[in-house]
Amino acid sequence: MNIVFIGFASCGKSATALEISRRLNLCFIDIDREIEKRYGRTHGCPVHYREIIQQEGMEFFFEMEHAVLAELAQADGCVIAPGGGASMRENNRMLLKTLGAIVYLRTDPAMLFERMQTKGLPLFLRDNPSPEYLKSLWNERHAVYMELADYSIDNTHLSIFETADCVIAALRASGFFAAAAT
């Protein structure tokens, strides 16, 4: 069984997934990094996922993302961090459900916007970099994330370590680790 993180950009999916993989001695797979590696191998140089999107377009990126998720159907014992938009595509939602336990990291839009300003705004906010627009996108995606999630953790005011504690506690309380061992 795998643990799969979903949530909006800058909610802490990759950092929390990495922390949990370290604690539980599981492999860690960041889908964006995997796409970068694959694209880099075919093009002869490393390329950041944002550059891939700018050079090749969103549809190309989405196709690569779907291909990586499909290959992970055989994975076991991994902590997986897809991009925030992966859950918005129907064909990815079906794949995500087959990968393992889905954990939605739910972060308040105001906190997301604050984090994004520190890290750099995602491409989807470049044309309208406002908290109001982010909130409208968050409202659209929240329902999808909630429907897909097996677990929902509000990490708005939690550190990565506290978030990892909450995720592991929720998985233990539900018997996930016992089920994963069988």
Cα–Cα distance, 21 to 56 (Å, whole number):
31
Are the C-beta atoms of 39 and 134 separated by less than 8 Å?
Answer: no
Are the C-beta atoms of 40 and 34 separated by less than 8 Å?
Answer: no
As a CATH number, domain 2-31+76-181 is 3.40.50.300
Percent of the chain exceeding pLDDT 90 equals 75
Q: Any bridge partners for residue 6, and if so which?
A: 104
Question: Does residue 107 sit in helix, strand or coil?
Answer: coil
pTM: 0.92
The one-letter code for the residue type at 138 is W
> What are the pLDDT digits (tens) for 85-142?
899 999 999 999 999 999 999 999 999 999 988 877 777 777 778 889 899 999 999 9
Q: Any bridge partners for residue 152, and if so which?
A: 104
- Model confidence band, residue 182 (pLDDT cutoffs 50, 70, 90): very low
Percent of the chain exceeding pLDDT 70 equals 97
For the chain, the domains span 2-31+76-181
Question: Does residue 6 sit in helix, strand or coil?
Answer: strand
26: left (phi over 0), alpha (psi -120 to 50) or beta: beta
- Residue-wise over 101-132: b if at least 16 C-beta within 10 A, else e? bbbbbbbbbeebbeebeeeeebeebeeeeebe
